[in-house]
Amino acid sequence: NAGVTQTPKFQVLKTGQSMTLQCAQDMNHNSMYWYRQDPGMGLRLIYYSASEGTTDKGEVPNGYNVSRLNKREFSLRLESAAPSQTSVYFCASRGPGNTEAFFGQGTRLTVV
Amino acid sequence: RKEVEQDPGPFNVPEGATVAFNCTYSNSASQSFFWYRQDCRKEPKLLMSVYSSGNEDGRFTAQLNRASQYISLLIRDSKLSDSATYLCVVKGNNAGNMLTFGGGTRLMVKP
């Protein structure tokens, strides 16, 4: 049981380049999330998907887009990367009710 | 005011010490509460859920005070392996089952 799988683990981009972070979960969870984590800021929600076919903005959505491709997969796209998007990105999924969230291993993104 | 606030620390304690962290939340409609642990350069993982009646798991005890809107985590007999960042997490009554994270409290247990 792999849980939540994120790719890539590391990425360096030049300003203005685009890329897509991939996330897949095998726990049949409806809810999926993308967070970014910066020093001293904790985890901040970028976008979430409450169920297949729906996506909504979180706290810091500017500069990002998402796609909930199917129940398993939830991708995050940076159309034109900026140095302010240098961060660690975590994907997570969660079942219904008060269950715990499971996280992927994270993607360390540097934009130069 | 942040929705979930924690003292960032670090808390430096010797092995065997008892240490306590508090966390305050602003949304009185919050429904569920958790403590997550995050090791350096790793993903967060659930340490324990926090129930209204309080709960204990080995050396760890979590308490919830709804009236004062704070959550606590007590670690007894600290081990070197307890060194990590502890994240307070709150779920409100919102669509999407969203969790809000505090900034984390860093614990360093020294020999």
Instruction: Please give the pLDDT value at position A27.
Output: 93
Q: Which residues, in sequence order, are CB contacts of A24 under 8 Å at separation 6+?
A: A4, A5, A72, A73, A74
Picking from A30, A35, A103 by the largest number of B CB atoms within 10 A of its own CB, the best residue to mutate is A103
Is the CB of residue B101 less than 8 Å away from at least one CB of chain A? yes
A1 confidence band (pLDDT: 50, 70, 90):
low
pLDDT in tens, B13-63: 999 999 999 999 998 888 889 999 999 989 999 999 998 888 999 999 999
- Give percent of chain A with pLDDT exceeding 90: 85
Dihedral sign, Cα of residue B48, residue B52, residue B56, residue B61: positive
Say which residue, A35 or B1, is predicted with more confidence. A35
Q: What stretches of chain B show up as alpha helix (H) in DSSP?
A: none
A105, closest residue in chain B (CA to CA):
B43
pLDDT in tens, B74-106: 999 999 999 999 999 998 766 666 889 999 999
Mean pLDDT, rounded, for A48-75? 94
Interface of B with A in 3-32 (CB under 8 A): 4, 8, 31-32
